[in-house]
């Protein structure tokens, strides 16, 4: 609630200045755009607040595309709203389930910090039902648990390309530099690409040794395996066949940095030479057989 009030104060203080300058366009950095639970104490209804329309001007071109799914990837609610900061809906899922929320905020009139690309900020998070003890006894509410940090998706990340003419950096191009340049003919600066296909481990802790779940991505299907033995070592995971996965595998696709599982897109990045897969909502997978911590 304090965070919500803070955003409202910022917006209220900025409105007079912006009304005097109709052409003024602005926003704060995307990673400062986080979600807030307005009404989340009911087991079958939520109201979520997004600060974007208050922090990004002009407000008339703020578009928020919301999507909510359950833990199985089933669509619960979707909405495209213009210049509206809150979204609310009723639902019918057990409080033991997890809700995933994704909201893409765009504004074609804003070019943040001089960017050549118009504003696009993606926030992904998830909600779980938490019970706390209070003066009147226990009470529960849906709680945003993923950090709710925005990711700037308005500008593609280009790899740095630096083919040197002045190879030794002395400020003078010499024969030695030219000979070195000849060795670069035919080369290109290309971003290293990794594949999602293969087997990945999930751990409830930050230690891959505690992994109790494996996902296999193959031919558009994601298979899920659970460890049912005392020792979930690499030999155990390698011994499993897709026939031993749980029934009804999920569908997936991978394009650029977006992994879509059962129509739920998530931004991912590879670390440790492709041995670790980091999700924008805070999740993490280890490639089976890698030595990554």
Residue whose token pair is 């001007």: 57
Q: Which residues pair with 105 in a beta bridge?
A: 64, 121
Residue 149 · residue 123 · CB < 8 Å: yes
Q: What is the pTM of this model?
A: 0.48
- Domains of the chain, CATH where assigned: 2-152 (2.60.40.10), 198-287 (no CATH)
**What's the chain's length in residues?**
293
Provide the pLDDT for residue 37: 95
Mean pLDDT by 10 residues, the chain (293 residues): 39 37 65 94 97 92 96 94 97 95 95 89 95 92 91 69 55 62 58 86 89 94 87 88 93 92 91 92 90 89
Tokens representing residue 184 in the block: 């670069």
The span from the CA of 41 to the CA of 195, in Å, is 41
């Amino acid at each position: 609630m304090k965070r919500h009030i803070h955003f409202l104060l910022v917006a209220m203080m900025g409105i007079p200045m912006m009304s005097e300058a109709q052409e003024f366009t602005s926003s704060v950095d995307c990673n400062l755009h986080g979600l807030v639970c307005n009404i989340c104490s009911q087991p079958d209804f939520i109201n979520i607040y997004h600060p974007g329309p208050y922090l990004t001007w002009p407000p008339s071109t703020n578009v928020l595309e919301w999507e909510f799914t359950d833990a199985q990837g089933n669509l619960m609610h979707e909405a495209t709203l213009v210049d509206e900061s809150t979204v609310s809906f009723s639902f019918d899922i057990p409080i033991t389930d997890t809700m995933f929320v994704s909201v893409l905020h765009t504004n074609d009139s804003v070019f943040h910090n001089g960017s050549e690309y118009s504003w696009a900020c993606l926030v992904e998070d998830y909600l779980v039902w938490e019970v706390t003890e209070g003066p009147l006894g226990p009470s529960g509410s849906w709680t945003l648990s993923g950090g709710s940090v925005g990711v700037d998706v308005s500008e593609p990340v280009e790899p740095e390309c630096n083919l040197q003419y002045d190879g030794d950096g002395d400020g003078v191009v010499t024969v030695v530099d030219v000979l070195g340049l000849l060795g670069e003919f035919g080369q290109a600066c290309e971003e290293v690409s990794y594949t999602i296909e293969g087997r990945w481990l999930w751990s409830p802790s930050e230690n891959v040794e505690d992994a109790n779940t494996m996902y296999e991505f193959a031919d558009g299907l994601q298979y899920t395996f659970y460890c049912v033995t005392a020792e979930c070592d690499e030999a155990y995971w390698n011994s499993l066949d897709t026939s031993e996965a749980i029934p009804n595998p999920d569908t997936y696709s991978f394009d650029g940095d977006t992994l879509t599982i059962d129509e739920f897109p998530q931004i991912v990045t590879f670390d440790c030479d492709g041995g670790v897969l980091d999700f924008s909502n805070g999740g993490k997978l280890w490639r089976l057989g890698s030595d990554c911590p």
